[in-house]
Amino acid sequence: MNGLLQIPSVTGKTKNPGRGGPRFSWLVRDSNPRRLSRLIYSQIPLAAWVTSLVRLFFTNVLVKNNLSWSAKITLMADSSFDIVSKVDKMEADNALNQAIKEVEQRYDFKGVGASIAWSGEKILMKASSEERVKAVLDVFQSKLVKRGISLKSFVDGDPYPSGKEYRIEGELKNGIDQEQAKKISKIIREEGPKSVKSQIQGDELRVQSKSRDDLQAVMALLRSSDLDIDIQFTNFR
């Protein structure tokens, strides 16, 4: 009898007890629940069970939120954002063009050789006197503010004579230098939430945490900090 054992007698004992002596028998071979459970769990490693459960969890999450499988990495990864210091070149051009127009039209700039223009990567301002060239600078700075560019992003030098005129050279700053990057990292490390980590990446910083609320707190912290540069927060994910 390949698939069956002896049927118990009326007394509950098998008619052919075999080596084990009198005992209760099961109708089907290997139908003992305890033996079956050992057989099932011995055939599937624990790692496979864990993998199946994790996959089932993410499947339920993705289906519930109508997400694709490509979103699984996003669900598991830390949230992050980048800290940058950049000037919008188009807005800078707009500010310069508006300054040029005002310098050309204002009566107090007539006959003093006042001008402002790009000179390579720098902005060159000219006038016949130190006082007038400073006035040209004031016009340009006011236009920068109106175009949403912080004056922290503009560095201007002192007026200097050149022939019969005075000049001022200015430059728009892009990127976070190492000194400022270390200062920002120190603020985050000492005053920010403990779950937040920062990393300097060239002229930018990457800030990471498992908590989006903690990242928002870091943004608020940096906005209220006394920094020497203008910063923006990008790539929040």
Domains defined along the chain, listed by start: 28-76 (no CATH), 79-86+176-234 (3.30.70.860), 89-172 (3.30.70.990)
Q: How far apart are CA 9 and CA 23, in angstroms?
A: 11
Of residues 36 and 214, more confidence is placed in 214
Per-residue pLDDT, 237 = 86
The tens digit of pLDDT for each residue in 37-88 reads 555 555 555 555 556 665 666 566 555 555 554 544 444 568 999 999 999 9
The tens digit of pLDDT for each residue in 13-23 reads 444 555 555 55
Q: How confident is the model at residue 33 (pLDDT cuts 50, 70, 90)?
A: low
Per-residue pLDDT, 14 = 47
DSSP E strands, 23-141:
79-84, 115-119, 122-127
For residue 7, pLDDT over 60 is answered with: no
The tens digit of pLDDT for each residue in 181-232 reads 999 999 999 999 999 999 999 999 999 999 999 999 999 999 999 999 999 9
For residue 170, pLDDT over 90 is answered with: yes
Beta strands at 232-234 and 79-84: parallel, antiparallel or unpaired: antiparallel
Q: How confident is the model at residue 6 (pLDDT cuts 50, 70, 90)?
A: very low
- Name the nearest CA neighbour of 129 among 90, 164, 158: 164
- Name the nearest CA neighbour of 183 among 141, 142, 223, 225: 225
Q: How far apart are CA 173 and CA 18, in angstroms?
A: 94
DSSP E strands, the chain:
79-84, 115-119, 122-127, 154-156, 160-162, 165-172, 197-201, 204-209, 232-234
- Name the nearest CA neighbour of 2 among 23, 25, 28, 24: 28
- Name the nearest CA neighbour of 230 among 142, 146, 150, 155: 150
For residue 110, pLDDT over 60 is answered with: yes
pTM: 0.65
The answer for residues whose C-beta is within 8 angstroms of residue 23's C-beta and 6 or more apart is 13, 14, 17
Q: How far apart are CA 30 and CA 27, in angstroms?
A: 9
H/E element holding 219?
A: helix 212-223
Q: How confident is the model at residue 1 (pLDDT cuts 50, 70, 90)?
A: very low
Q: How far apart are CA 66 and CA 60, in angstroms?
A: 10
Tell me the residue type at 234.
T
Q: At 176, phi and psi to the nearest 5?
A: -110, 120
| Residue % of the chain over a pLDDT of 70 | 68
Residue 160, strand partner residues: 167
